[in-house]
Amino acid sequence: MSLRDRKRARTRQALVAAAAELFESRGYDATTIADIAATAEIGTRTFFSYFASKEDLLFPDTDGRVRAALEAIASRGPDDGPAEVLLEALHRIGDDSDDLTGRVAALRLHMIRTVPAVRGRGLQIQMDTQREIARHLAAAFPDEIDEVGAAALTGAFVGAVTGALQVLLEDMEHPTDPTTVQRAVEVAVEVALTPWFRK
């Protein structure tokens, strides 16, 4: 990673951290993009070179999740089926970031439940993500799964992750240890995908 890329990553992370702090202390609606930019010590216009909207601050690693899934599909072994590939993607996501288990994940779930704009953005991201992963799965396993089956399998995968996180991250005052969250999510995925596992 170049110096420029590292600087951009730090600024991006500062924006996410500033947003989380302000959303928790002031509330989502009372926090403006200008407030977030000022807290992160950047200009308001610069904000838009990092995020398209205030909602997107709560979904900072969506591209990373899709990338992990596509990398797991591309690097699959000969004995791996579609379900094994999705479980491997989940391991990669957990190893690379705390996007599913950390403070922002808990805040995101709370905001999805309470803020219509965040809920709408979350649903759009989820639908787009599921569709992209399902298309790649169907292409990678043409003899095993068609596009409808791939969409159903990906939906079961995403539903298992989402359902587990809703339970595990519900209490923002007493957060669950991230390692415990990661393991519980993996178990939920294994339960949901059991009929699809080859091994």
pLDDT tens figures, 20-31: 999 999 999 999
User: Does the CA dihedral 96-98-101-107 come out positive or negative?
Assistant: negative
Q: Which of 93-97, 98-102, 189-193 has the highest mean pLDDT?
A: 189-193
How far apart are alpha carbons 17 and 39 in whole angstroms? 9
pLDDT of 2 higher than 90:
no
- The predicted pLDDT at position 199 comes to 64
Q: Is the dihedral of CA 22, 28, 29, 33 positive or negative?
A: positive
Question: 95 falls in which pLDDT band (50, 70, 90)?
Answer: low
| Residue 82 pLDDT level (bands cut at 50, 70, 90) | very high
Residue 46, token pair as written in the block: 């610069």
pLDDT (tens digit per residue) in 139-163: 999 999 999 999 999 999 999 999 9
CA distance 97 to 93: 6
CATH architecture under which domain 3-53 falls: Orthogonal Bundle (1.10)
Q: Give the whole-angstrom CA distance, residue 36 versus residue 24.
A: 12
Supply the pLDDT for residue 33.
Answer: 97
Q: For residue 176, what pLDDT is reported?
A: 72
Closest CA to 80 of 137, 152, 130, 148: 137
CB-based contact 12:50 (threshold 8 Å): yes
Q: Do residues 87 and 190 make contact, with C-beta atoms less than 8 angstroms apart? A: yes
Say what the pLDDT of residue 49 is: 94
Residue extent(s) of CATH 1.10.357.10 domains in the chain: 59-196
pLDDT at 106: 87
Q: Give tens-digit pLDDT for 57-70.
A: 999 988 888 988 99
**pLDDT bucket at 172, cuts 50 / 70 / 90:** low
Q: What is the CATH number of domain 59-196?
A: 1.10.357.10
Rounded to 5°, angle at Cα 132 from 75 and 159: 95
* pLDDT tier, 72 (very low <50, low <70, confident <90, very high otherwise): very high
User: Is it the case that residue 118 has pLDDT exceeding 90?
Assistant: yes
Amino acid at 161: V
Asked if 68 contacts 164 with a C-beta cutoff of 8 angstroms, the reply is: no
Q: Please state, rounded to an integer, the average pLDDT across all residues of the chain.
A: 90
